[in-house]
Structure 1
Amino acid sequence: MTSQPHADADAPTASAQSSPVSTQKSANAEKPVGSALTIVLLATVALAMKGLLAKFVYATGMTVDGLLLLRFLIAMPFFWLGVMLFGKQRPGDRKMQPVDLAWGALYGGLFFLASLFDFTAVSLIDVTVSRIVLFTFPAVVMILEALHKRRFPPFRQVVCFVVTYIGLMLVLAPGGFDMVSGGLWYGAAWAFGSALTYACYLYFGQRMIKTIGSMHFAALINTMAGLSMVLYELVVQKPLNLNPAGITWTAGISIFCTVIPFFLLYEGIRRIGATQASLISLSGPAMTFFAAWLFLGEILTVPQMIGFAVVTLGVASLKNSFSLAGLGRLLARPFAPNTKP
């Protein structure tokens, strides 16, 4: 219409009308990314509490297998309840189809293996070393993306990983690696196996998240992982040592440290992708140590406190610059006033 002579007379009016629309579109384009960062951060905080509560479970005498099996079984109905109540508000590109069950079984099996390898590593080596090795999975995700898309990762993602991992080493190994227990390489191999399987599941599963929706994906994957755990337990037949107190703690882990954060995490992945979401989740171990200091009275050393600050700034750098103002803008997003007309 701009080619018509009389359009110039209406230009101010059209401009006035299109400006709010353009501004609104720009705001809508910016909002999903910013809110996704907040969503993944909230999921990371909830997931970080999992290890903290697991200490109370083990104190009751329950085994790792008992905790894992019960956690999956308790979480299953709550995942599907969430789908029934809120799934229509978080749709995917299409409805779930029979072929999705096969892919769900594959990704659920990978998630089950990642959990099993992780807990095996913790039983063999010091938890500090296992956390450091396990949280190489964002690097594996970046490598998978680089190989898959045949391009080098964006500079900001590389910087985020390097800075955050330096902070992790300060938080998790302030005394150096010479303080760890024996059998390091054997246990580290199990931890890296967990990182590898988790990274594969996270990266290749993100397409399915967009296809069937984050809530359906969360319910399907955890159901398949639970079924894998049941089959595994039927084969190995390890003791579970179930007891009322342990079941109660495990129920809390299943709901508040599994169902809710997984819904949040997968929704974040749907919006910003697995690579950025995995980088944000690097703050998880530091949050675990901070929670242990806050609730259990464990002391954080000066290097650990510095490391925690570095981890926080590293995560904030993914969206903002290395500044307190940038971190403030990120964390203030959930409390920003609604500017919609």
Structure 2
Amino acid sequence: MLSAPLAAFNNAYTRGFVLVLLAAFCYGLQPLFALYAYAGGANPVGLLLVRFLIAAAVLLLLLRLRGIGLPNWRLTRQNLLLGVGYGLAALGYYSASHSTSVSLAVILMYSFPAFVTALSILYLGERTSPLKLLSLLLALCGVLLATGLNFHGDLEGVLWALFAAFSYGASIIYGTHRVRHVQPLASAVVVLLGCAMTFAVAALYWDVQLPSGEQAWSATLGLALFATILPVAAFLAGSPNIGSSTAATLSTLEPVVAVTIAVMLIGEPVSTGVLGGGALVVLAAILLARQGDHQSPEPADKE
């Protein structure tokens, strides 16, 4: 009776599909772990510093056990820079969700595909199309609808979330056009080290409050293991089997999970505007992702 499901899972595409979905679900768990870490006294800088240090240390140990070396210096430098970009995006996202509602922060953060498309058209000469323009318009309308047009007094959180979306989008463009990973897991370690370095520097200028107490440290460890290492490994293993556009489309499960957690488990109120804006942003992300099926990848820089 179980042979058919097992056979289906052994199919490379099906296995990749499930792994990318798992990655998106795990990334969506971040607000839940952060809630308990904040309750234990942590602030975004302290929580993210510990998160990325733990994640990088665990993956470094895994690389050592598997006999995998770190990338060459040129690729290491590129991945460290990529990690700085992702670290800044995380700083914006967590600062936004800490100062405004998680739902609003998630929705605004997930407008990053629109930033990627807009920057690619403006600076990389990517061809535009009516569908791309429609997607950008949907994303813009979604952001305006989610914020209620007048920001409801959450201007700081809105700006942090948009900063996160811009940083994440810029990092994706840099990673896509400049970096070619020889060993994805080794590159992931260096990216996480770049994230940790970002918060080590941030700690010099911001107040750092680390988690305190068993519950807060358990949540922080859960964030590092189940919302960082597990989704990274699942995405790296699954995405090559299904293609980048399908992987990006499946990743839209992440904001759905995060908003569901915010409403059902954290108890955040959610307005019709936030739900409607979120739906438009996710729809724009799906449309932009699906257009990747009809575009050939850009060549890597050969400097």
TM-score (normalised: structure 2): 0.72
* In structure 2, distance between residues paired with 1:258 and 1:296: 21
Cα 1:313–1:98 change in 2 (3 A) is: closer
Residue in 1 aligned with 2:6?
none
Can you give the 5+ residue segments of structure 1 that lack an aligned partner in the other structure? 1-29, 89-93, 320-341
Residue in 2 aligned with 1:148?
124
2:33 pairs with one of 38, 53, 71: 53
Residue 251 of structure 1 pairs with residue 227 of structure 2: no
**CA-CA distance at 1:95 after TM superposition:** 7.7
**CA-CA distance at 1:256 after TM superposition:** 0.4
Residue in 2 aligned with 1:224?
194
Can you give the 5+ residue segments of structure 2 that lack an aligned partner in the other structure? 1-10, 291-303
Residue in 2 aligned with 1:4?
none
**CA-CA distance at 1:178 after TM superposition:** 6.2
Residue in 2 aligned with 1:206?
176
**CA-CA distance at 1:192 after TM superposition:** 1.7
**CA-CA distance at 1:118 after TM superposition:** 2.1
Counterparts of 1:68-147 in structure 2, within 5 Å, are: 68-84=48-64, 96-146=71-121
Residue in 1 aligned with 2:230?
260
**CA-CA distance at 1:278 after TM superposition:** 4.1
**CA-CA distance at 1:251 after TM superposition:** 0.5
1:285-316 CA-partner distances (Å, limit 9, x unpaired): 22112234554566878998899999998888
**CA-CA distance at 1:102 after TM superposition:** 1.3
**CA-CA distance at 1:203 after TM superposition:** 2.8
**CA-CA distance at 1:273 after TM superposition:** 6.5
**CA-CA distance at 1:220 after TM superposition:** 0.9
Identity %: 24
Q: Is the 8 A contact 1:141 1:274 kept in 2?
A: no
**CA-CA distance at 1:53 after TM superposition:** 1.5
* In structure 2, distance between residues paired with 1:187 and 1:297: 19
CA RMSD of aligned residues (A): 4.1
Counterpart amino acid of residue 213 in structure 2: P
Helix, strand or coil at the partner of 1:211: coil
How many residues were matched structurally? 277
Helix, strand or coil at the partner of 1:45: helix
Q: Is the 8 A contact 2:142 2:279 kept in 1?
A: no
* In structure 2, distance between residues paired with 1:139 and 1:240: 34
Q: Is the 8 A contact 1:111 1:198 kept in 2?
A: yes
**CA-CA distance at 1:190 after TM superposition:** 2.6
Helix, strand or coil at the partner of 1:113: helix
Residue in 2 aligned with 1:177?
148
**CA-CA distance at 1:138 after TM superposition:** 1.0
**CA-CA distance at 1:159 after TM superposition:** 7.6
TM-score (normalised: structure 1): 0.65
- Indicate the structure (1 or 2) with the bigger Cα radius of gyration: 1
Residue in 2 aligned with 1:22?
none
Residue in 2 aligned with 1:40?
20
Residue in 2 aligned with 1:3?
none
Counterpart amino acid of residue 42 in structure 2: M
Residue in 1 aligned with 2:208?
239
* In structure 2, distance between residues paired with 1:161 and 1:87: 45
Residue in 2 aligned with 1:24?
none
Q: Is the 8 A contact 1:167 1:309 kept in 2?
A: no
* In structure 2, distance between residues paired with 1:261 and 1:95: 20
Cα 1:159–1:276 change in 2 (3 A) is: farther
* In structure 1, distance between residues paired with 2:251 and 2:186: 21
Q: Is the 8 A contact 1:72 1:223 kept in 2?
A: yes
Residue in 2 aligned with 1:281?
251
